[in-house]
Structure 1
Amino acid sequence: MNPRYLPHTLLSVVLACTAVAGCSESETLEVFSCDDSICFTAPALSQTNYYVHSGGISRSDCDSDCIYWEVLTPGDDNAINYQNQGEIKYGQSFEHIQVTTPPRALKQGRYNVSFNIGYASSLNGKRGARFSATFTVDGNGNLTGS
């Protein structure tokens, strides 16, 4: 993902995860249609329970009001919950996660998605990673590819 497309807020969330949780590894998300929505997954997300430290979706070709969904674990929350496993659905809620930008309808265009995720147990010596992808939505709000 090209950082110049990320709004400053999402970029600072990515940097915060790198500094705090050690999410220096980068993994690619698979983006697909599911239940009249868009879902995101990666092999690691089905191999262990995880928590979402931060993440969201921003529009690539945008100058203002670019964030379409953003979530963040509050800094004072010590009750990290490793109950998630499998795919992440656009706009879903997570226990102990603050929604900083509620999900909005995706308009035609190109989007960046990024999640900083911590694992309940070590996977190949890693305790977490940053997952990201780019995808495109058509004029009807349907996923058209990456």
Structure 2
Amino acid sequence: MHLGLKHWAIAISLLVAQMLQIMPMPIMVDPYRPDWVLLVLGYWTLALPQRVNVGVAFLNGLVLDILLGTALGIHSLALSLVIFILAANYQRLRNYSVWQQAFMIGLLAALYHLVIFWLQHMLTDIYFLFDYLWPVLTTMLFWPWCFMILRKARRQLKVS
């Protein structure tokens, strides 16, 4: 059973992240939804940069655009940019503590949201609200738990 899961662990974790990203939530909690796809892509990029890279981020961004109903390419560009930065600096970021990594993930999540806002502003003329940045805080706070869960799964399934 582990042999089959080993080959599909990354895809399954990204599928779960996509489902968590679109899962209905109460209106009071929805503005704080963490960027699950960014968290999972970020982990796999730091852990296995040769398997999860900008191309995987671009495809997941396209799927996210379709699932969320945004203009095609908005999430793709934002995720590709963030994952490119992570992949370019993965050796340095691996040496940071989990909380330092969380801070860096928070900065990258802020960049992700600002790129999405900028692209949507260019296309639909929306205006910036501070509420757009609440997911940055929750993404940063969820990083240590996401990191520990995915690391445990990677080690148990011997994903490499």
- TM (norm. structure 1) is 0.31
Greater strand percent: which structure? 1
Greater helix percent: which structure? 2
- Which is higher, the Rg of structure 1 or of structure 2? 2
